[in-house]
Chains A and B, each alone.
Chain A
């Protein structure tokens, strides 16, 4: 399968020009987590920091079909997968999302990562029905980039904060306990940032806020905005004795798009991040050559809920 991806500005460390042997080799333990990029690169917003540069009309990564998602879920269950994440782009841009969730949550817990602006009453009612009828957890994660409209809308466009909060309130009223996923800038006190979001969400009418803080990844449109990773932001030549493979989520996750299987959800636009056509092809070690690998390693972060 040939990939035709729009090039993004990258640092030398991300260009993949250096031999893989210069980078730590991340072992693959087991497929705990499968990311399903059901929305492809299609999104209703054009956020200035989007690490996969998604936007309206963008079909570099096409929408995944319900049949393809079923096939990937079946492959993953064969491997003993623990949980599925539905993402994009914006997953609610895929008209089959609710059906895909219904197909999948019978077998395993599901999480949806959304910008929150398409959470209509009808969709929220359907999600609540799925959640109540399954023994597995259904998590809805809504991305926020600030605890107020000024900071959030600066990244995501006018009105997006109010619509995302409206969506979260609908979810909370339906008993779904949404998780606010917020980006954390370097140097910020995580406890202070957390309390800021907590107060805002309570005042908005969400009585039991759940908050997950993530670092900013200098990929995609965010790389164009801030200059991306520098040559120093790399795990190149990290001594083997100093390498701790448990710090990285790619020891136990893979991501699938309509175009194939990728090492992780952050690197679906990297040609070297694509590992094959089938999940079993991707159950292999991976050289940590990208700037994003550096961020994951240094922060010890995971895109997953826990």
Chain B
């Protein structure tokens, strides 16, 4: 068992192949010995096969998110967990586009990805998943995850360090028991913070657990133009340019929603 591991973890690629390339480069600069993608390779962005091909050639460990599960299995919707009709409409536009442009080969690859991964480092049990250990499409928001709930979840799933994504917003909680829950964020779209950069987690697991959320700048203007030229909603391009979410807002709890513009 390693005494100390440096891990780069990101989620929600959402077909943002330009941010993916920049993130892989930054993970090298961070000195990551392991690089993990916690799922959702496609959705939202343009040309989904580009990101899938890059991930496959990179050697990065990839988990199966709800989007990957739906695309891989040919389902009718992304099973993102949205309940609001406007959010569902945008999600469906994005899903139909992605499904039509993901090759059979990549679908088979997505279908075969594992849902979770585990390893041990410095005596700590590390569990990696997409939404939560119990549901791929569960949203773990910072402001709706009290310590009592996270302690229960870590205990129930035998994890000392739990990594997840799915919400698109990164956060870290060191629990009273010295367990850690880390939402690694998303590199597919900005973190609703008015910055065009995307975020991932650089994590060192040793006697202590250190988490460094790293912003990644990339050619977001080029991505926004590709979104527009592919006929995807203008709202998506606006998010990429401005850093503020324009869609899929209704699931945000009040604290996270207040931090945004819309």
Q: Give me the interface of A with B, judged by CB distance under 8 Å.
A: 29-30, 32, 77-83, 107-109, 131, 135-139, 175-177, 190-191, 194, 208, 210-213, 302, 305-306
B152–A176 CB distance below 8 A: no
Docked Cα-Cα span, A151 to B165, in Å, equals 42
B210 contacts the other chain (CB 8 A) = no
B interface, CB within 8 angstroms of A: 81, 83-86, 89, 134, 139, 141-149, 151-153, 155-156, 250-251, 253-258, 262
Contacts of B254 in A (CB 8 A): 131, 137-139, 176-177
* A-chain residues with CB within 8 Å of residue B250 when the two chains form the complex: 210-212
A77 touches B148 (CB 8 A): yes
Would you call B152 and A137 a contact (CB within 8 A)? no
CB pair A305 B253 closer than 8 Å? yes
CB neighbours of A135 from chain B (8 A): 142-143, 255
- Chain A residues near B262 (CB-CB < 8 A): 208
Contact B257 A210 (CB under 8 A): yes
The chain A residue with its CB closest to the CB of B150 is: A80
Partner among A81, A175, A213, A306 whose Cβ is within 8 Å of the Cβ of B85: A213
Residues A191 and B148 in contact in the complex (CB < 8 Å), given A109-B253, A135-B143, A176-B254: no
Residues of B within 8 Å of A194, CB to CB, are: 84-86
Complex Cα distance, B146 from A137, in Å, reads 10
Contact B83 A306 (CB under 8 A): yes
Q: Please, which residue of chain B has its CB at the minimum distance from the CB of A213?
A: B85
Please, which residues of chain B bring their CB within 8 A of the CB of A176?
Answer: 254
The distance from the CB of A249 to the nearest CB of chain B, in whole angstroms, is: 12
| Contact (Cβ within 8 A) A108 B253 | no
Assess whether A81 is in contact with B143, with CB atoms less than 8 Å apart.
Answer: no
16 new A-B pairs (CB below 8 Å) besides A108-B146, A137-B144, A306-B251?
A29-B134, A77-B146, A78-B148, A80-B148, A80-B156, A81-B146, A109-B143, A109-B253, A135-B143, A136-B146, A137-B143, A137-B256, A139-B254, A191-B89, A302-B83, A306-B81
Among candidates B84, B141, B253, residue contacting A211 with C-beta atoms closer than 8 Å: B84
Distance A108 CA – B145 CA, assembled complex (angstroms)? 7
From B84, B255, B258, give the contact of A136 (CB < 8 A): B255
Q: Which residue of B lies closest to A195 (CB)?
A: B86
Q: Could you tell me the distance between the alpha carbons of A131 and B143 in the complex, rounded to whole angstroms?
A: 11
Write 6 A-B pairs (CB below 8 A) sorted by A numbering. A79-B152, A80-B152, A81-B148, A82-B146, A177-B258, A194-B84
Whether B86 lies near A137 (C-beta < 8 A) is no
B261 to chain A, nearest CB (A): 9
Chain A residue contacts of B255, Cβ below 8 A = 131, 135-137
Measured between alpha carbons, how far is A194 from B84 in the docked complex, in Å? 9
Complex Cα gap A213–B83 (Å): 9
Q: CB-CB < 8 A to B145: which residues of A? A: 82
- Report yes or no: A107 in contact with B139, Cβ–Cβ below 8 A: no
Cα–Cα, bound, A78→B155 (Å) = 13
Name which residue of chain A comes closest to B139, CB basis: A306
Contact B151 A80 (CB under 8 A): yes
- In the complex, residue of chain B having the shortest beta-carbon distance to the beta carbon of A300: B83
Q: Which residues of B contact A139 (CB under 8 A)?
A: 253-254
A107 touches B148 (CB 8 A): yes
Bound-complex Cα distance A211 to B88 (A): 14
